[in-house]
Structure 1
Amino acid sequence: MSEDWRENYAYAVGLQAVIYGYPAVKNLNMRFGMVEKPVGATDTPLSQWFHLRRPADATDTTHGSVSNDFLYSVGWFDVRKEPLVISVPDSGKRYLGVQFMEWYSDIFAYLGTRATGGAAGSYLLVSADWQGETPPGIAGVIRAPTPTGAIIQRVGFLGDRTNLKPVHTMQDASDMRPLSKWLTRDASPSTDRQVLDPADRADPMAFFVNLNRAMTENPPPAKDRPILSLMRSVGLGPGQSDDLSKLDAGTRKGLERALRDGLKLIAQVSVSGGETKFVNRWAYNQTSWGRTGESDDFLTRAATQSFSGFLEHQIEEVVKLRAHFDANGELLDGSTGRYVLHFNRDQIPEAKAFWSVTVYNTNYDLHPNPLNRFSFGSHDKGLKFDKNGGVTFYLQADAPTRQFQSNWLPIPKAPFNLFLRAYLPGEALIRQSYVPPAVSKVD
């Protein structure tokens, strides 16, 4: 405790502000890095699909646990001026999921295989207060809780990750454009790249500057007024100035301390799994994922929903289990030995679409390896099952002996973690009664 009450108070409130506002700040930086000054694979104007034409790999350093089980399409929407029309093709037997995220990382709508039966259709995305008429040819209206946000489309493979042509065909049949262009069949590309700029990272208050900017653009829901009132008392939140140099010295010092400790807390919760069910050292995703803001679980929203991911799914679409630890409770670390993950026949995850296991480094990115194999699962023809119907993954940095190379899933010679995903999961996964095998260290 400081002798300055202002510093102590700002620290206490600042911790809550970091937890509450982390997703808003992360999304501000991610959007800027994809739209105005692209730094990764995604380079797109607002309100338009950007189709990634290859599966994700180790060059994609978004720190968001990106999957390489799909081809992604990304769009950042802004419905302040007018609605957008999102059109999807018929998906047939191929998995298609279109996921809508409001600014604070909750999911508010889906289209695709599960949500709309895989049928083709055009849907109108509107602001929360839109009062216009729905034009003919629109299959449904989706209201966005915040005026800006992100949309992710995932198109799955059917046993061959190298045959990208049919996936590209589905991407090309997808469309996102302003309503005015859709009505006039204007297919000209968007040129709008005007988004909020992040503050200079050298500024120790940059996080809070970005917080004020993002929350002013995307006001939180009315139910969150109590925490917003607290934040406002130290100059933070929607409608507050982004010039924090005018705050008194004690308040600034308290906020700087809160930022350091708050980010450490979020990272700690992410690694530990937070308040979730653990089975054989695997952490189930929280059943409220994609709805954590709605249920006022702001710590989970900041940590496992946002810090270690991006656009986390609701459990009806996918169930995820994450492992940071082996069967003995030790952190997974490829520099200390090899591991095996064996599924008995009755442990094979039930998924109507597919299931897979993916390896991530401590930044929640894919890591480079000689096979360019980052995940392996039921939709891969090369995965070999044993004579009893089970399957074993060999998790090691160096190549195993020849007889085990077919199911080799390379890991870094460093700490790592695993994601077990089940798309369109069975009831046992949704109810969290499914028991996965532990990750066993072999030397």
Structure 2
Amino acid sequence: MNKDQSLIASVTSDPQAARCLARDAYIFTYPLVMNYRTMFMQAIDEDKAMGKWLHLGLSSPADTDIVTPNNDTPYSYAWVDLRTEPWVLTMPKIEKERFYTSQWDDYWGYVLDNPGSVNDGNDGLSVLLASPSWKGPLPKGVARVIQGETDVLGTLTRTQIIGGQEDLLRVADIQASYKLEPLSSFAGTPAPKPAPTITWPKWSEGDEAKEAYWSYVSFLLPFVSPNPDDQTMHETLASLGIESGTPWDPAALAPAVREAMQQGLEDGRAELKKLSEGGIDAARFFGTRKRVGTNYMDRALGVYMGIFGNVKEVSVYLSMPADAEGTPLDGGRSTYTLSFTREQMPPVDYFWSITMYKLPQRLLVDNPIHRYSIGSATTGLQTNEDGSLVIYVGKDSPGTAKESNWLPAPDGPFWTVMRCYGPGQSIVDGNYKRPDYVARSLNK
């Protein structure tokens, strides 16, 4: 009996084995399916399309496409189908003081590259986006090629807003200058024969927690170029009846196995939830395969906690889930202060911010002053004469004199993230010590 047959036999005869394998398969494929969810909303549903930009303004509580959105760099999304030919991204020249980066991920959530300020400066450039199988000379005028492990790539391109709402027109102008075009259009050559049309399955919210989840996995596997390092996981999927090019048929499985697979799915979800609730160094979640490798839990946690999170060389996200005593943050129980000495101010080349999220949704928080983040680029932020800074965090205003430094919180559990753009070496190395929240009971 070969390895595949042994796995299938164990699943058929032992539902507990199926449960364990399904848990592992869920963690392995979670980025694949959740990136599809995001792509469906941004590039397939309604009048959207592949290769078409979706430019947004500042994020608000109404935005629910992705969890933990930032409120510093209006987003531009796009997805490209590379089966027919590569595409070319061209970025414009912008002001030296403004941050921009065009992050590109594959379906697995690997961060492939970041053309823009940190890696290239602000003078603009063109890069080639290619499928895993593409080979060819680099076209004239193109700086480099970006390739992942899937035939579809997606971008979350960030453009810094400087000052506030009054800068949105300039941001929109920059966003309109981002260009995506097929290589044949860029090079002025005949377009190749198009790839077969895809009938994309409609995403239904909540499917990530249902048996339907496995149907998405089987649908997406043909768009993946399997990496030899993942062979064991592909064998695990096959043992559960999930293979590339074959629709998943749950009716072919025994009822006990289907029930066990659902339990395994729920085990995986429970583990992601539990691990996400601690103070985690999220920098390790995001990067190329060389960095993240086969640590499938880290890869899944990155997507679970903040899909399209970036690599630490470009921006570092420090989760801040608890106060100095280790108690989870809760605006219905306490108010908080966050005090930076002059020496503690985050060392960054561009800017830093702290963003507020309500739990368990990890979405922005409605508040009367429409402030969802606070940081070095916040208009009117007041520092003390000695260069120190105090931020007030709570559901109610700390008073008119302190409101410039107020980050509104929900009347209940919340979670915050400090983002550092163009981080200094101490942040990249993990040696920077951020201040802790100091809590004061609402009853005092």
TM-score (norm 2): 0.89
8 Å contact kept, 1:46–1:193: no
Task: Kindly state the Cα deviation for residue 4 of structure 1 after the two structures are TM-superposed.
Answer: 8.2
The residue aligned with 2:179 is 175
C-alpha separation between the residues in 2 aligned to 1:4 and 1:51? 48
CA distance in 2, matches of 1:193, 1:267: 37
Match of residue 17 from structure 2: 9
Number of residue pairs the alignment of both structures matches: 422
1:288-299 matched pairs, under 5 angstroms? 289-291=286-288, 294-299=292-297
Question: Is the CA contact 1:62–1:365 (under 8 Å) kept in the aligned structure 2?
Answer: no
Tell me which amino acid in the other structure corresponds to 1:12. C
| SS of equivalent residue, structure 1 residue 364 | coil
- Partner of residue 3, structure 2: none
**Aligned with residue 298 of structure 2, among 300, 315, 321:** 300
In the alignment, is the contact (CA less than 8 A) between 2:292 and 2:299 conserved in 1? no
- Aligned match of 2:123 in 119, 123, 130? 119
Structure 2 partner of 1:372: 370
Cα displacement (A) at 1:62: 2.6
Q: What is the letter of the counterpart of residue 138 of structure 1?
A: V
Letter in 2 for 1:422: C
1:366 deviates by: 0.5
2-side partners of 1:12 and 1:29: how far apart?
A: 25
CA contact (8 A) 2:92 2:177 kept: yes
Query: How many Å separate the matches in 1 of 2:348 and 2:262?
Result: 45
Cα deviation per residue 1:360-419 (whole Å; 9 max; x = unaligned)? 112111111111100011112311111111111111111121111111110000110000
- CA spacing shift, 1:204–1:67, aligned 2, 3 Å: closer
Other-structure match for 1:280? none
Instruction: Determine if the alignment matches structure 1 residue 134 to structure 2 residue 138.
Output: yes
Q: Which amino acid aligns with 2:26?
A: V
* Matched residue type, 1:214: L
3-state SS in 2 of match to 1:223? helix
Trace 1:225-264 onto structure 2 (pairs within 5 A). Answer: 225-264=231-270
**Residue in 2 that maps onto 1:189:** none
Greater per-residue helix proportion: 2
Are positions 1:319 and 2:316 aligned together? yes
Paired position in structure 1 for 2:429: 431
Structure 2 gap ranges (5+): 1-10, 191-195
* 1:93-136 deviation per Cα after TM superposition (whole angstroms, max 9, x unaligned): 21010101011111011100011122212211111221234332
Distance 2:199 2:105 in 1: 17
Letter in 2 for 1:253: E
- How far the C-alpha of 1:185 sits from its partner, in A, is 10
> Deviations 1:227-247 (Å, cap 9, x if unpaired)?
211221111243443222222
Distance 1:402 1:137 in 2: 54
- Indicate the residue corresponding to 1:277 in structure 2: none
1:57 corresponds to which of 57, 60, 72: 60
How has the CA–CA distance of structure 1 residues 145 and 441 changed in structure 2, closer, same or farther, with 3 Å as cutoff?
same
State which of 64, 71, 76 in structure 1 corresponds to 2:74.
71
**1:345–1:388 Cα contact (<8 Å) kept:** yes
- Equivalent residue runs for 1:89-238 within 5 Å: 89-93=92-96, 94-184=98-188, 196-198=200-202, 204-238=210-244
- How far has the Cα of 1:170 moved from its partner? 1.1
What is the CA-CA distance between 1:217 and the residue it aligns to?
2.3
Q: Is the 8 A contact 2:241 2:249 kept in 1?
A: no
1:207-226 CA-partner distances (Å, limit 9, x unpaired): 11112212232243221101
The superposition leaves residues 167-217 of structure 1 with CA deviations (integer Å, 9 ceiling, x where unpaired) of 11211111011122223499xxxxx99562146667941111112212232
Letter in 1 for 2:423: P
Q: Distance in 1 between matches of 2:48 and 2:22?
A: 34
SS of the aligned residue for 1:287 comes to helix
Kept in 2, the 8 Å contact 1:337–1:442? The answer is yes
Give the whole-Å Cα distance in 2 for the aligned partners of 1:83 and 1:382: 45
On the 8 A contact 1:99/1:109 being kept in 2, the answer is yes
Give the partner amino acid of 2:136. Answer: G
Q: Note closer, same or farther for the CA distance 1:194–1:374 as it changes in structure 2 (3 Å cut).
A: farther
CA contact (8 A) 1:32 1:195 kept: no
C-alpha distance in structure 1 between counterparts of 2:89 and 2:123, whole Å:
13
SS, match of residue 399 in structure 1: coil
Whether contact under 8 Å (2:91, 2:179) holds in the other structure is: yes
**Residue number in structure 2 paired with 1:276:** none
Task: Look up the SS of the partner of 2:311 in the other structure.
Answer: coil
Which residue of structure 2 lines up, in the alignment, with residue 386 of structure 1? 384
Cα offset for 1:294?
Answer: 4.0
Unaligned runs of 5+ in 1: 187-191, 274-282
Is the 1:48–1:177 contact (alpha carbons within 8 Å) kept by the matching residues of 2?
Answer: no
Helix, strand or coil for the counterpart of 2:114? strand
- One-letter code of the match for 2:141? G
- Amino acid in structure 2 at the alignment position of 1:168: A
Instruction: Decide whether the 8 Å contact of 2:44 with 2:50 is kept in 1.
Output: no
Which amino acid in 2 is paired with 1:59? A
- C-alpha deviation, 1:48, in angstroms: 2.1
Conserved in 1, the CA contact under 8 Å of 2:358 and 2:415?
Answer: yes
Aligned equivalents of 2:299, 2:137: Cα separation in 1: 35
Structure 2 residue aligned with 1:44: 48
Percent of pairs identical after alignment? 27
Which residue number corresponds to residue 331 of structure 1? 328
CA RMSD of aligned residues (A): 2.3
